[in-house]
A and B are shown apart, each in its own frame.
Chain A
Amino acid sequence: MSGQAKLSEKLPEKSIGRLPFAAPLGGALARLGLGPRALVIAIPTVWLLVFFLIPFVVVAKISLSEVAIARPPYLPLWEWQDGILSLSLNFGNYLFLASDPLYYSAFLESLTIAGFSTLFALLIGYPMAYMIARAPGGMRNILLMLVILPFWSSFLLRVYAWIGILKTNGVINHALMSIGLIDEPIVMMQTDFAVYVGIVYTYLPFMILPLYANLVKLDETLLEAASDLGAGSFTTFLTVTLPLSLPGIFAGSLLVFIPAVGEFVIPALLGGPDTLMIGKVLWNEFFSNRDWPVASAVAIAMLFVLVIPVMLLQKAQQSDGGHS
């Protein structure tokens, strides 16, 4: 038994060694103290470095510079002249964000819309995820397919489709008027309502999938045990299913909330002039005002507004739930 286990442990190393192209590369890396394990970790590390950390540093740098009519439209952070290195950090962009109530209210509205959208997505997504997780095997795959199906068509196309559904002479108003429920069309386009519909619709799968992944693991004997100990089905849900699905709720909510805060396309297409979301403000600063430093400062501020509470929540969850 132990002999077999040892054999299988050694196998991967051997098989890597046998690959003709991997052998010289592996040998060179091994001399540098990098095994196959380091190689595997290196790929995502490099990816994050190139496509996340470096752009982040660039944006952070721009946010500390001064706007200028130039190309690119900001002044460099440091200058080297006559043997003197002069570094000028301009925090004015951040001070400007703090002083102008526009940004404050845009942040607030973004967080509000994203927060309520997340809540709606949770209320709609939880029962769906639960039902899929409890469905019999074959049916489960079909239902999961249906959840993922919208991704097969373009996101923009689907948002435009909502315009067709929600507009004054759109599908809903037509249907309601033809059955005589209303006499005049309801204005739905260019309202917050349309923005909510768009965001909840778009991000619902991101709520359902992590919830499903969590709920499908739920041990059904726990529900039986609760029932055996005297709990009705609602009490069982509140005391067993819900607390055990908190990691799924948390993951799904983050996946909906974070992109929803920075959402630009949906409020731009479905929302009205009153819908002031931070993504739209950022777009305006960047393209209309050509004020890259302020746009960058908005982006950095948004990042901190999002990342800090998420990190705190995650920490709280780690210290609280060692069970999962």
Chain B
Amino acid sequence: MSEQASITESKPPESKPWIDDTQQPFIRIRNITKKFGEFIAVNNVSLDIYRGELFCLLGGSGCGKSTLLRMLSGFETPTSGAIEIDGQDMAGLAPHARPTNMMFQSYALFPHMSVEKNIAYGLHRDGLKRKEVNQRVSEILTLVQLSDFAKRKPSQLSGGQRQRVALARALVKKPKVLLLDEPLAALDKKLREETQFELVNIQETLGVTFIVVTHDQEEAMTLSTRIGVMNAGEIVQIGEPREIYEYPGSRFVADFIGSVNVFEGQVTEEDTDFVIIRSPEIKADIFVSHGVSCTSNQKVAYAIRPEKIRMSLERPKGVKNLLSGTVEEIAYMGNLSVYQVKLATGKIVRVTQPNLVRTDQNSITWEDEVSLTWDGAAGVVLTS
């Protein structure tokens, strides 16, 4: 996770309409609930998405993210609640009457039509003149770099090419909102990483609002302007990738995005600019160098990411958060190594270290006694 650079991070602040009160949301989802019989797939979800955003709905399977997307596209009717796109109420509108287009997880390319015809399909349905259809098809084929494959059938394309055809077919209609259901799930890892960047470039070029459903947190972090984390039919947190990663609002989010060490404890001292948490699990006091809205004696959890813990063979002096343990497991990942350090209490702490040099000389190895330490602001206090 640590090596993942968010593409959208460098965006200037004015392109963050969600922090600007004067901006009107482009898509308003209001108290949407969807029940299948007794099962509540989506539970009272409200969400604002702004024009030009690349919004990711992130969650495990069965969390309701796909159902929410299908309600936006019109394939499912909400049990209650309202969806508004660009000021227009979507209630009762069939999929073909909505200003949205969908890119399906399976791509759903028509196997009996060539690439060209697949892409032209939606334009013909709009009753456009043949000349304009041809022009727009060739434009979009250039954009997705498939001009040489126009006459091929989908079965004659590779997975990555099919993915681009599916994208082109949905984009060529110039929808107000493009809905993407697990757009990269069928690609292998290398291709997925390349395609992520391509997808963001295309989105920025065209300025279409994208809503992406994914279960892959890396994908969500890389692509999105904002992420909505879903669990059991509800949105548990909405935020920019960095926010979601660094300031998870709940234990579920902290655990779902990246890996995390959670120490259970109780607030022993609480002040405006620091908090001390006593954690019997690690038999130590955790010093938090900022104020937390909590009360004294409240039970809390302290979450800290493995890459934010420093590990050393010598015991550092004069530091606040200090643990010691023995290295139990090491996983070499190439760019970094993951260490599992067992404390005297039996608690396992995950620590990652970048592999700065190529040799493994002087590095920490199995059974070594190590000291772990971290900054007062490195972790998050979770009250829920």
Contact = CB atoms under 8 A, between A and B. Distances in A.
A237 B74 CA distance: 19
Interface in A132-177: none
A228 B112 contact: no
A244 B112 contact: yes
Interface string B91-108: 000111000111010101
Given A225-B102, A322-B153, A322-B155, A230 B173 contact: yes
Interface in B101-155: 101-102, 104, 106, 108-112, 121-122, 125-126, 153-155
Nearest to B122: A229
A230 B122 contact: yes
Interface in A204-252: 219, 221-222, 224-232, 235, 239-240, 243-244
Contact of A224 (B95, B153, B170): B95
B316 to A, nearest CB: 44
B169 interface: yes
B99 to A, nearest CB: 11
B33 to A, nearest CB: 22
B75 interface: yes
A55 B280 CA distance: 91
B214 interface: no
B110 A225 contact: yes
Contact of A239 (B96, B101, B106, B121): B121
A248 to B, nearest CB: 13
Nearest to A222: B108
A219 B111 CA distance: 10
Interface residues of A, number: 21
Contacts of B173: 229-230
B73 interface: yes
A220 to B, nearest CB: 9
Contacts of A228: 73-75, 95-96, 100-102, 170
The SS class assigned to the A binding surface is helix
Contacts of B73: 228
A230 B120 CA distance: 12
A227 B96 contact: yes
A221 B73 CA distance: 13
A186 B303 CA distance: 88
A321 B125 CA distance: 24
B125 A229 contact: yes
A237 B373 CA distance: 66
A219 B96 contact: no
A14 interface: no
Interface residues of B, number: 26
A229 B169 CA distance: 8
A71 interface: no
A224 B169 contact: no
Contacts of B126: 230
B153 A219 contact: no
Interface string B150-169: 00011100000000000001
A222 B110 contact: yes
Q: Which residue, of A219, A221, A240, A243, has the highest number of chain B Cβ atoms within 10 A?
A: A221
Contacts of A224: 75, 95, 102, 104, 108
Given A226-B121, A229-B101, A322-B155, A221 B108 contact: yes
A323 interface: yes
A323 B108 contact: no
A226 B113 CA distance: 12
Contacts of A240: 110
Nearest to A230: B125
Contacts of B111: 244, 323-324
Contacts of A225: 102, 104, 108-110
A230 B112 contact: no
Contacts of B153: 322-323
Nearest to B127: A230
Given A219-B108, A222-B108, A230-B125, A323 B102 contact: no
Interface of A: 219, 221-222, 224-232, 235, 239-240, 243-244, 321-324
10 interchain residue pairs of minimum CB distance: A229-B122, A230-B125, A225-B108, A323-B111, A221-B108, A230-B96, A227-B95, A228-B102, A228-B95, A243-B112
12 contacts: A225-B104, A225-B110, A228-B95, A228-B102, A229-B121, A229-B170, A231-B121, A231-B125, A239-B121, A244-B110, A321-B112, A323-B154
Interface of B: 73-75, 94-96, 100-102, 104, 106, 108-112, 121-122, 125-126, 153-155, 169-170, 173
Given A235-B125, A240-B110, A244-B112, 17 more contacts: A219-B108, A221-B106, A224-B75, A224-B95, A224-B108, A225-B102, A228-B73, A228-B96, A229-B169, A229-B170, A229-B173, A231-B125, A243-B112, A244-B111, A321-B112, A322-B155, A323-B154
